[in-house]
């Protein structure tokens, strides 16, 4: 069964600090991996999407890495800001191409404290 596990479940850090969120998956075959940011009371918003051939992708202060061999991804946030407080969801797609091939992680709840 395809699974996506995210860690930690929740994280509290001080403003200005860096942090790294982890995503391990067992989805096979693999097509792409996405990271979403979900602010409280809002829908998820895409941060990055990575295919098999990509191992690093940046979006401002967000940098995602992908190791397709170990089936691991990380999302690194640099110089955190209060607005980074949100849930971060990892989503992995198999090569079927349809939406039914998406497997969602349960997310990491990140709190940035001033």
Partner 1 sequence: DAGVIQSPRHEVTEMGQEVTLRCKPISGHNSLFWYRQTMMRGLELLIYFNNNVPIDDSGMPEDRFSAKMPNASFSTLKIQPSEPRDSAVYFCASSFYGENYEQYFGPGTRLTVT
Which residues would be at the binding site for partner 1 (CB under 8 A)? 31-32, 41-46, 49, 51, 89, 93, 95, 97-100, 102, 104-107
Q: How far is the CB of 98 from partner 1 (least distance, A)?
A: 6
Q: How far is the CB of 82 from partner 1 (least distance, A)?
A: 21
CB atoms within 10 A of CB 73: 26
Nearer to partner 1 (CB atom), residue 14 or residue 100: 100
Q: How far is the CB of 56 from partner 1 (least distance, A)?
A: 17
* Distance from C-alpha of 83 to C-alpha of 33, rounded to nearest angstrom: 24
3-state secondary structure at position 84 = helix
First to last CA, the chain: 41
């Amino acid at each position: 069964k395809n699974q996506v596990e995210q860690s930690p479940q929740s994280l509290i850090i001080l403003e200005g600090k860096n942090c790294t969120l982890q995503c391990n998956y067992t989805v096979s075959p693999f097509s792409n991996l996405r990271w979403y940011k979900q602010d409280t009371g809002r829908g998820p918003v895409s941060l990055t999407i990575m295919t098999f051939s990509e191992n690093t992708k940046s979006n401002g202060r967000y940098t995602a890495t992908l190791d397709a061999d170990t089936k691991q991804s990380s999302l690194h946030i640099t110089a955190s800001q209060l607005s980074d407080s949100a849930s971060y969801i990892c989503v992995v797609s198999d090569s079927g191409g349809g939406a039914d091939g998406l497997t969602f992680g349960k997310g990491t709840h990140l709190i940035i404290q001033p």
